[in-house]
Structure 1
Amino acid sequence: MTLILAHRGYSAEYPENTMLAFREAAKAGADGLELDVQMTKDGELVVIHDEKVDRTTDGTGFVKDYQLKDLLKLDARFKFASLPNREPIPLLKEVLEWLAGTDLICNIELKNTLFMYEGMEEKVIEMVREFRLTDRIIISSFNHYSIVKSYMLAPEIEIAPLLSDGLYMPWIYAQSIRAKGFHPHWRAAQDEIVISSLDSGVEVRPYTVNKDNELERFFRVNCSAVITDDPVNARLIREKTKQA
């Protein structure tokens, strides 16, 4: 069965990368989560997509220039301002502690292409091990050097390169860096790529799949997983495709 991973949580209806979005994704029946990790000035791992806080919070500036105590004062509701309670940027530790009480899988994307956060891989791995989540975590990044480093540090934790463009025989590349799967942009995941990868024993989890016809396509070819903003809609499409 094709798994449904909620992109930054249930981000179609709730503020992305917040505990609210993650909890609502679980309630909505998602099989797992996708989230993003940056690092504060004082070396704390926090869950936010952009290097800057401007788009998703009421603050300004780079995450790397904030002390954690100041970052936690920001409100991450952004376009969901009508919500009754402020939503802080979560710590990765907070998310993993909650995740440990669920059966969800989780794709942690290391956001270290613009800034090479020193020690990020070690800190993420230590935390994943602390909460005994090694068999439910996938570490991904556009920085493939970083995920190879992660594999060398912790071969028991799955890695997956993110691919924004098409790559010739991506399953061969994935195998060459000891990745059990890869995460392509949905446009770079044509049916033949998905099928050939799966036939080679390599998982394919395209992002960010929100169009009904694309969801249907991936469900029909039994893609490993889809990463989507709307897990509720994806579940409906998956059920409909199963019955077709």
Structure 2
Amino acid sequence: MNNTQIFAHRGSAGTHPENTMDAFEAALLAGADGIELDVQLTQDGIPVIIHDETVNRTTNGEGWVKDFTLNELKKLDAGSWFDPKFTDATIPSLEEVLEWITNTPLLINIELKSGVVRYPSIEKIVLDAISSFKLKDRVIISSFNHYSLVEVNRLDPAVETAILFMEGLYEPWKYAKTVNAKGLHCYLPVAVPELFQGAAKAEMPVRPFPVNEEKHMLSLMKGGSSAIITDWPEKALKVRDSL
């Protein structure tokens, strides 16, 4: 039995509109071990689940997420861009997702989108939400903004953090330790054998993204990847079951 965990990237983003409850529910149904999602803050300081800093690509609205209140964001259609049958899909709040996840066995990888827009106190706001739903032991917080991860660790060292990176870094497990991160979430093309070997010795999990082709799923599962982050959890589960 292969024990590589399968995280659904923005939910089942291959088959459903990303970062919506439809996509998260589909990931649960598919049998994924966890979901990955992106958090930003509304104008009224509420954490919401959306990848881009603007609503232009994934809704029928236009503008920066930070300029909308939660109420205004909720009125947008977050599904039709993907397929007309998802017209009812809305941008979920983090609270909605956490409340839903408490009744599931899923792990949750929360990516803080705090690079382009520096959302004030996003780390504390997200940690407070995680605490209020008692989900600390099921959460991994990742970010491309590693200053954010340092802040998460300062506020609550009990919550697992992981560095996100796109570059072919040398010995990233050593660097990760300098920000007290416990995991390596790397862009698939830089997930080279040396990375897995060194990370294994350092006992640091590697979770590449986005792993969408069967051949990559197969080689990573066989190569000892702790997890893969994929838009196609259903496909990944079939590959894992075949091993």
- TM more than 0.5: yes
- Is residue 185 of structure 2 the alignment partner of residue 206 of structure 1? no
Contact 1:121–1:150 (8 Å) recurs in 2: yes
5+ residue gaps in structure 2?
A: none
- Distance in 1 (CA, whole Å) between partners of 2:113 and 2:51 is 7
Match of 1:47 among 46, 49, 55: 49
Match of 1:168 among 158, 167, 170: 170
Paired position in structure 1 for 2:26: 24
Q: Summarize deviations over 1:160-204 as a string: whole Å, max 9, x none.
A: 010011100011111222111110001111122112202211110
Contact 1:52–1:61 (8 Å) recurs in 2: yes
Count of residue pairs brought into register by the alignment: 241
- Distance in 1 (CA, whole Å) between partners of 2:83 and 2:187 is 30
Q: Which amino acid aligns with 1:55?
A: R
- Is residue 78 of structure 2 the alignment partner of residue 92 of structure 1? no
Q: What SS does structure 1 have at the residue aligned with 2:85?
A: coil
- Distance in 1 (CA, whole Å) between partners of 2:194 and 2:145 is 26
- Distance in 1 (CA, whole Å) between partners of 2:62 and 2:10 is 20
RMSD of aligned residue pairs (Cα, Å): 1.0
Shift of 1:217: 1.1
Shift of 1:85: 4.5
Paired position in structure 2 for 1:218: 220
Paired position in structure 2 for 1:124: 126
Contact 1:41–1:67 (8 Å) recurs in 2: yes
Q: Which moved more, 1:177-186 or 1:86-95?
A: 177-186
Q: What SS does structure 2 have at the residue aligned with 1:109?
A: strand
Contact 2:17–2:86 (8 Å) recurs in 1: no
Q: What SS does structure 1 have at the residue aligned with 2:241?
A: helix
5+ residue gaps in structure 1?
A: none
**What are the residue-to-residue correspondences of 1:84-163 with 2, within 5 Å?**
85-163=87-165
Structure 1 length-normalised TM: 0.96
Contact 2:80–2:86 (8 Å) recurs in 1: no
Q: Which amino acid aligns with 2:165?
A: L
Q: Percent identity?
A: 46
- Distance in 2 (CA, whole Å) between partners of 1:81 and 1:193 is 38
Contact 1:195–1:221 (8 Å) recurs in 2: no
Q: What SS does structure 2 have at the residue aligned with 1:210?
A: coil
Q: Summarize deviations over 1:198-240 as a string: whole Å, max 9, x none.
A: 2211110011111111111110112110000000101111122
